[in-house]
Amino acid sequence: MDFSKRIEDAMSRAITAGQAAPSPDKLARALHYSVSPGGARIRPSILLSVAAACGDDAPKIADAAAVALELIHCASLVHDDLPCFDDADTRRGKATTHIEFSEPLAVLTGDSLIVMAFSVLTEVAGLDPMRAIALMKVLAERTGMPNGICAGQGWESESKIDLAAYHRSKTGALFIAATQMGAIAAGQEGDQWEELGARIGEAFQVADDLRDALYDEEALGKPVGQDDLHGRPNAVTELGVYGAIDRMKDILSGAIASIPKCPGEAGLAKLVNMQAEVLTPLKWRASQASKIPGE
C-alpha cells in the first residue's frame, strides 16, 4: 500500500499550522525546507503499514503519529548535519539547513520540529486521550535519553561504546517507534511490536552500511564514506559485502517471524519481505547481474 499522499498531506498541514503569522519568516521557511521534499518517508510508511495491519480504526490518530515520527526524524537530520556533528553541506541532493539558512536557524529548526512532533499528537488527543498519551510516551522514549536517538548520537562521544545500546538507540529507536506507534494508533498494545521495529532497524543499518560502501556520491546525495570517516562500526567492514547482504536477509526473516497476530499479518509479512530487495543497493544488484549472466 502506498501511503505517500496521506503522509505528505498530513506533513503539510502540520508545518503550515506552525507558521501562523506573525512568525519569523526565515525560521518558518527553514521548517518547511527541512521536511520537504521528503525522502522515502520510510518510518511513517512503516507506522501506517502496521496501523493498517491492525485495522486502522482511527486514521486521524495514525496520521498524526506518522507526522510526529517523521518530524522527529527530520529534526535529527538537521541537527546531525550541523558542523559540530557530520558537517554535511548537502542532504537529499540539496544544501543542508544550516548551509541554506544559517547555523542558528538550523539549531532552532531542529528544536521547533521536536516540539511540533509532540504538539501534533496533542491535537488529536480529543479523539482518544489514552492513545495520544501512549503515542507520546513511545515517541519520547525513542527520541530522548536513555533509549532514544539522542542517546544514540551521545554514544558517539564515548571512548568505550556499548555497541548493542548504540545500534538500538541510534538506528533502531525510530523504527521501534514506528511499529509501536502504528499499533497504538490503531488501538493495540505497543509492547509486542518492539521486536519487529528493532529488526527492521537493524536491516536498515546494514543496508545503510552497504549503500555507504558501494554507492557513489551523486546517487546518494550526501558525501560517501561518512561512517568510516567518523570511525563508527560498520557491517561491511566487519563481514564484507556478501556477508552483510546475508545478514540483512537473516534479520528480515527474523522480523517476519516476530510479527504479532493481527488482521493484516500476511500483508505485513509480504511488505517486510520486499524490503530485502529494496534495501540491496541497485549498483550491487546490477554488478552481480553483469558478472553472472547465466544465472
Q: Which residues bind its own copies (CB under 8 A)?
A: 18-28, 31, 75, 79, 82, 84-85, 101-105, 107-108, 110-112, 114-116, 118-119, 122, 125, 129-130, 132-133, 136-137, 140-141, 143-148, 150-151, 153-158, 162, 165
The residue written with cell numbers 482518544 in the block is: 128
- Select 47 or 124, whichever has its Cβ closest to its own copies: 124
Helix (H) / strand (E) containing 94: strand 94-95
Distance of closest approach, residue 122 Cβ to its own copies, in angstroms:
5
Burial class (CB within 10 angstroms; exposed 0-12, middle 13-18, buried 19+) of 27 = middle
| Nine cell digits for residue 114 | 521536536
Cα dihedral sign, 155-156-162-166: positive
Identity of the amino acid at 236: V
Q: How many Å is the Cα radius of gyration of the chain?
A: 19
Distance of closest approach, residue 224 Cβ to its own copies, in angstroms:
22
Distance of closest approach, residue 158 Cβ to its own copies, in angstroms:
5
Distance of closest approach, residue 195 Cβ to its own copies, in angstroms:
19
- Select 109 or 179, whichever has its Cβ closest to its own copies: 109
Distance of closest approach, residue 98 Cβ to its own copies, in angstroms:
8
- Select 7 or 14, whichever has its Cβ closest to its own copies: 14
- Select 143 or 275, whichever has its Cβ closest to its own copies: 143
Distance of closest approach, residue 79 Cβ to its own copies, in angstroms:
6
Phi-psi region of 243 (alpha: psi -120 to 50; beta: other; left: phi over 0): alpha
- Select 27 or 220, whichever has its Cβ closest to its own copies: 27
Cα dihedral sign, 164-169-171-175: positive
**Which residues have a Cβ under 8 Å from the Cβ of 283 and sit 6 or more positions away?**
214, 215, 216, 219
SS3 23: coil
Cα separation, 39 vs 32, whole angstroms: 14
- Select 43 or 79, whichever has its Cβ closest to its own copies: 79
